[in-house]
Amino acid sequence: MSDATKNLIIRVLIHGAVLYVLYVLQGMVFSRLPLFGVLPLILPLSVVGVGLFEGPSWGAGVGLAAGVLCDIALGSTVLFTIALTGLGMGVGLLSSYLISRGFPSYVICCAAALLVLAFMQMFTLLVFLRQPPLALFRVGALQTAYSMLFALPMYVLTRSLARRAKA
């Protein structure tokens, strides 16, 4: 087995272990710590970081895995699987061609991703079940704000994983 193959296997295992820890945190720890009635989403923050620092292919792969775990943790169907795969690939493409790979870009991408995910979560309630829009937007904004509290630790984690992969 070549060194490149060994490094690839180690990198996949490390990303898998990190996703598992984040899944446990999101599904078992933070699900018991609601703030103003909302729960944070931390798996999308990791997908943004991987896409930003490691490119579109790693972003899409980690997004697929994180999306499956997020759907399991939140009891969703395939919403997060599809959305986080596209998110990882999209942020990866943006970082390859358009935006810089730094903290301001990470924070902006995280906020935009969380707002889009919140809108996707509320779309059915808003359009088909005709729930009050202000209440849904309030919940979406609170979920985004609560999730953004974890942006700095996730930035440090994903940045260190990317630096380790390049070394």
Name residue 38's beta-bridge partners: 35
With a cut of 90, say whether residue 76 has pLDDT above it.
Answer: no
Q: Which of 165, 40, 49 is nearest to 108 (CA)?
A: 49
Enter the pTM of the model. 0.95
Token digits of residue 164: 């380790």
Question: In which band, very low, low, confident or very high, does the pLDDT at 140 lie, cut at 50, 70 and 90?
Answer: very high
Q: What are the extents of the domains in the chain?
A: 3-166
β-partners of residue 160 are none
User: What confidence tens digit (pLDDT) does each residue in 94-131 have?
Assistant: 999 999 999 999 999 999 999 999 999 999 999 999 99
Cβ contact 56:96 at 8 Å? yes
User: Which CATH architecture best describes the domain 3-166?
Assistant: Orthogonal Bundle (1.10)
Is 90 exceeded by the pLDDT of residue 15? yes
- A 10 A CB-CB count for 12 gives 14
